[in-house]
Amino acid sequence: MLAKQFWRLLTNRNSLAHRIFQARYFPGATILDAKLGYRPSLVWRSIFSAKPLILTGLRYRVGSGFNIRIGLDPWIPRPSTFRPITVLPPHLAAASVSALIDHHTNDWCRECIETNFLPEDHDVILSIPLGRGIHEDIPIWHFTESGQFTVKSAYYLEISRSTDATSSVQAGSPSWNFFWSTKIPRRIQVFAWRACLNALPTSANLGHRIRSSLNACPYCETEMEDSLHALWDCHFARQVWLLSNLGWTTLCRNTSDVESWMRGIAKYLNSKDFGLFLTIAWSIWQARNRRIAENSASSPMDIICSAHSFLSAYEGVCSQTIQLLHPRRPASWEPPPSGTVKVNFDGACLEGDKAGGVGVIARNSAGQCLAWCAFRIDKPVKPLVIEATAVREAARLVAQQG
């Protein structure tokens, strides 16, 4: 929420709040250039604390380009710096982006860009759409389609930043692919991930959190229950694994944590058997929870049968093909009502998004072509941009024809 207030001050420069803070903390400058200042108020200190987060997702939408510096301001739609990769000389870095625009054609000066920038920057810069006429350069939020700041997008951005800073290994990273890539239900994959991180609510973990001495295994009632004990060391769990037909020597690992145990087993089992292994481990944990919550006892054979049945049902659902109830009719043009005109338009990316094309046609109720236009765009374009260009050209054609 503090970031939202910072964004409002950045984008609403005529507001009373902006004028008050500007007079006190950044006279003659923008809030992006502001410093915390001497003896700041609690309100300003709180809003100012959101500046690093805002800078992480802020970039400028290029209008005229006069107010954006090429090498110093964020304007290229490529996280995380939003600046050119090319190391620019000082005079070019401080020059405005307008120097890269041909204002007669309202398009990028391709020759200038290809001469002064690395190939990695060429396509990104050329793909930035430029409007017709002169528009103001405005700050936008990169992580929403509309460019408007939202608390939700900022929250997820901050979570990703915090995760990157505090965790050397993340869920979904290649290091965890040994179970994320297994074809089993997502709930079992999440269970395996939590087990590897020692995040299961075992008696030991709960006892540590609530400072309790009651951390014994619900089966053994004497041994301390951590994640490895619950899934392997417990005598009940071992009875289950003996019935699994996965190979006792494969399952036996001299490790002290679940992650090493699972990684070692993943090296010796194929993908299908490893999926069964994780499903059995999950079933052991579910049986343990039912024993505590419902006082329900399951035999080792019950757990094995339950795991096989659950996995077979999942594989059966995944193998089903979905058929449309009503077959699609072939696409065909339908004429408009008598006395009206229908305008059809479309845009397409060509040559692997290295170029694009736009087509517009206006026809009456008899199907006669009244006006049309089509052209090619010889620069990198994104699908959303090319579709928006088609809409703009359709509106322009209608306006020209009256």
Q: What is the pLDDT of residues 135-191, one digit of tens each?
A: 889 999 999 988 999 999 999 888 887 766 555 444 444 467 888 889 999 999 999
- Check pLDDT > 50 for residue 44: yes
Structure tokens at 128: 């930035």
Given this model, what pLDDT does residue 80 score? 84
Question: What is the Cα gyration radius of the chain?
Answer: 31
Given this model, what pLDDT does residue 175 score? 67
Cβ contact 342:328 at 8 Å: no
The dihedral through the CA atoms of 374, 377, 378, 380 has a sign that is negative
Query: Where are the chain's structural domains?
Result: 50-156, 174-319, 341-401
Q: Is the peptide bond before 80 cis (omega within 30 degrees of 0)?
A: yes
Calculate what percentage of the chain has a pLDDT beyond 70.
92
Q: Is 28 left (phi over 0), alpha (psi -120 to 50) or beta?
A: left
Regarding predicted confidence, which is higher, 95 or 256? 95
Structure tokens at 295: 């006082």
CA distance 398 to 180: 52
Q: Is 262 left (phi over 0), alpha (psi -120 to 50) or beta?
A: alpha
Q: What is the pLDDT of residues 237-275, one digit of tens each?
A: 999 999 998 887 778 877 888 999 999 899 889 999 999
- Check pLDDT > 80 for residue 215: no
Minimum mean pLDDT range among 157-161, 268-272, 361-365, 374-378 = 157-161
- Check pLDDT > 70 for residue 28: yes
CA distance 13 to 190: 46
Cβ contact 231:188 at 8 Å: no
- Rounded to an integer, the average pLDDT of 347-376 is 87
The position carrying tokens 């035999």 is 299
